[in-house]
Amino acid sequence: MSGRPDRFDLVVIGAGAAGLTAAGGAAMFGLRVALVEAGAMGGECLHTGCVPSKALIAAAARAHSGRQGGRLGVTLKPPDVDFAAVREHVAGAIAELAPADSQQRFEAMGVTVIHARARFLDPVTLQAGNHRLRAPRTVIATGSRPSLPPIEGLAEAGPLTNETLFDLATLPSHLLVLGSGPIGLEMAQAFRRLGSAVTVIDPGVPLARDDRDAANVVVKQLQAEGVRFVHDTAQRVERHPGVIVRCAGGEAIAGSHLLVATGRRANTEALDLAAAGVLEGADGIVVDGRRRTSNHRIHAIGDCRAGPRFTHLAGYEGALVAREVALGAPARMDWRALPRVTYTDPELAQAGLTEAEARDRHGDVTVTSEPFARNDRAVTEADTAGFLKLVHARGKVVGVTIVGAHAGELLLPWTQIIGGKASSFALMSAVVAYPTRSEISKAAAFAAWQPAIFGTWPRRWARAVAASRRWRA
């Protein structure tokens, strides 16, 4: 163990999306940066989250296409799912993306990478394996992990979580899913399409944080594909020989495997936050609008801090904190246009406030809805499920909900509009390639502006112009 500490301008703890962005950004500004990671570079998103789940969803979509009968006049053979090959596809996606997060890449940027578990000795000093590190600024980006609810027998039953789901050697014959949030429903549909029977158990409404109209479109599609929903509370879990979930209503549901997708908790136990003067709440490290902790020398970003947990938000926070640390320019988070997508089929995409959230916050709101049934590209694909919903408050777009095929790909202009960097009026007048699903955004913007454009005064002006031309003729 070294006696004198190694000195850096910045120490980053955690090499997931948040930590990699912060470390890389600070290094590109010329700072001396140490990056401490006890596990694999790339974090949860690369290895057990976004990447493997979306690769699995893609394989499941291919299988589903073979079960569509004579859709569009084309009959395909029933799919033959080789689950071992599906696993290879998932592993291949991870391997192909891993170099972007690799130790070699960040060392080439000038970052000192240390593979060890870090803990604070004081507000500016860390112990990481045999290294003692000292820096005037530290970024905590240790991420989160699945949290098991307090259900009798659950831990003893050895349930799956996102950390173990993608290691399955065989396809579950009957997958039980605890939790009907985005992860639960994404995996429920994917495994159903791959051939598993699937039952989702949750006492609450599915996708509870999303727009109810949009969530209902997703749920109806999953039910049509054979996913069963049990609206009840799991009280006890037993192994027999697979797993049995006994619910409060008396039903006992037997399955081969159980996936828990009910929430996450911050990875902070090993850090000794008290030694650094960092306050932690029930949902993670407490931060202010600049992601500073109670010790303003230390920032906490990504899943370890209290608040929403999304990979893209973690990267956004990492970039802003790197800029603040390097340039001394305070950078506050702007969450007005925070996007999120549930990658079911149809996808459910949201930016800004839902209709219910907007009514709670602003009271009087205006809602404009445009269905995909009026979108020519959707009609040609015979895939018209869903809609785009705009929510206006005080004359501004404060939220957009899109449910339908590739809904997430349609969010970008709305994040700019909600964030004040563009306008729905400009989008209304844009020239959009035909036929594309993007036309639904222009149609919704036009519908929102139509009352003003063709209102009383524009109509009077148009009649006056027409009358003047008749007089001159």
- Residue 169 placed within a domain: yes
Return the pLDDT at 450: 84
In this model, does residue 457 exceed pLDDT 90?
no
Average confidence (pLDDT) over 304-314: 94
Task: Give pLDDT, residue 3.
Answer: 63
Q: Is 182 annotated as a binding residue?
A: yes
pLDDT confidence tier of residue 71, bands split at 50, 70 and 90: confident
263 is in an annotated binding site: yes
Angle value at C-alpha 409, between 451 and 368, nearest 5 degrees: 20
Q: How do residues 378-415 score in pLDDT, each as one tens digit?
A: 999 999 999 999 999 998 999 999 999 999 999 999 99
Rounded to 5 degrees, φ, ψ at 227 are -75, 130
% of the chain beyond a pLDDT of 90: 87
User: Does 204 lie in the same domain as 285?
Assistant: no
Are both 391 and 412 inside the same structural domain? Answer: yes
Statement to judge: residues 34 and 129 lie in one domain? yes
Confidence of residue 121 (pLDDT cuts 50, 70, 90): very high
Could you tell me if 129 and 271 lie in one domain?
Answer: yes
Instruction: State yes or no: 199 annotated in a binding site.
Output: no
Q: How confident is the model at residue 5, as a pLDDT?
A: 78
The answer to whether residues 247 and 207 belong to one domain is yes
463 falls within a domain: no
The reply to whether 239 and 278 lie within a common domain is: no
How many C-beta atoms surround the C-beta of residue 220 within 10 A? 12
For the segment 122-133, the average pLDDT, to the nearest whole number, is: 96
Residue 164 annotated as binding site = no
Question: Mind listing the pLDDT tens digit for each residue in 269-302?
Answer: 999 999 999 999 999 999 999 999 999 999 999 9
User: CA nearest 293: which of 311, 309, 305?
Assistant: 305
The answer, yes or no, to whether residue 1 has pLDDT greater than 50, is no
- First vs last C-alpha separation in the chain: 96
Question: Is 420 one of the annotated binding-site residues?
Answer: no
Indicate the residue among 262, 278, 313 that finishes a domain. Answer: 262
Please state the domain count of the chain. 3
57: left (phi over 0), alpha (psi -120 to 50) or beta: alpha
Q: What is the pLDDT of residues 138-172, one digit of tens each?
A: 999 999 999 999 999 999 999 999 999 999 999 99
What percentage of the chain has pLDDT greater than the value 70?
A: 99
pLDDT at site 240 = 81
**Residue 203 has what pLDDT?**
97
8 A C-beta contact, residue 259 and residue 160 = yes
Q: Same domain for 403 and 418?
A: yes
Cα separation, 383 vs 67, whole angstroms: 15
pLDDT digits (tens, 9 = 90+) for 177-220: 999 999 999 999 999 999 999 999 999 999 999 999 999 999 99
Choosing from 262, 289, 309, the residue where a domain stops is 262
Residue 473's pLDDT is 53
Q: Residue 69: its pLDDT value, please?
A: 75
CATH code: domain of residue 438: 3.30.390.30
Half-sphere exposure of 197 (CA within 13 A, CB side): 7
> What number is the average pLDDT over the span 7-26?
97
Planar angle of CA 262, 339, 16, nearest 5 degrees: 65
Do 226 and 178 lie in a common domain?
Answer: yes
Q: Is 287 found in the same domain as 252?
A: no
Q: Is residue 373 part of a domain?
A: yes
Q: d(Cα 44, Cα 28) in Å, to the nearest integer?
A: 24
The last residue of a domain, from among 327, 351, 379: 327
69, part of any domain:
no
141 and 289 housed in the same domain: yes
| Helix, coil or strand: residue 109 | coil
Mean pLDDT of the chain: 95
Tell me whether residue 79 is in a domain: no
Of 406, 343, 409, residue with least CA distance to 60: 343
Q: Looking at residue 415, what is its pLDDT?
A: 96
pLDDT of residue 472: 63
Q: What are phi and psi of 61, to 5 degrees?
A: -65, -40
> Which CATH number goes with the domain that contains 254?
3.50.50.60
Q: Which two tokens stand for residue 169?
A: 């050697």
Q: Identity (one letter) of the amino acid at 233?
A: T
The pLDDT tens digits of the residues spanning 329-386 come to 888 888 889 999 999 999 999 999 999 999 999 999 999 999 999 999 999 999 999 9
186 appears as a binding residue in the annotation? yes
Confidence of residue 456 (pLDDT cuts 50, 70, 90): confident
Q: What is the pLDDT of residue 468?
A: 85
Please state, in angstroms and rounded to a whole number, the distance separating the CA atoms of residues 18 and 312. Answer: 9
CB 299 within 8 Å of CB 19: no
Tokens 């009077």 — which residue? 460
Residue 126 pLDDT > 60: yes
Ligand-binding site membership of 185 (annotated): yes
- Residue 78 within any structural domain of the chain: no
pLDDT tens-digit readout, 83-96: 999 999 999 999 99
Structural domain of 163: 155-262
Query: Is 39 marked as binding a ligand?
Result: no
Residues 426 and 445 sit within 8 Å (Cβ to Cβ): no
Other C-beta atoms within 10 Å of 388: how many? 27
Please check if 35 is assigned to a binding site: no
Same domain, 375 and 438: yes
Rounded distance between C-alpha atoms, residue 443 and residue 439, angstroms: 6
Q: Is residue 287 part of a domain?
A: yes
If one counts every other C-beta atom within 10 angstroms of the C-beta of residue 162, the result is: 21
Residue 53 in domain: no
Q: Is the pLDDT of residue 306 over 70?
A: yes
Extract the tokens encoding 328: 């001394």
Element (H, E) at 83: helix 83-97
* 442 labeled part of a ligand binding site: no
* Judgement on whether residues 160 and 214 belong to the same structural domain of the protein: yes
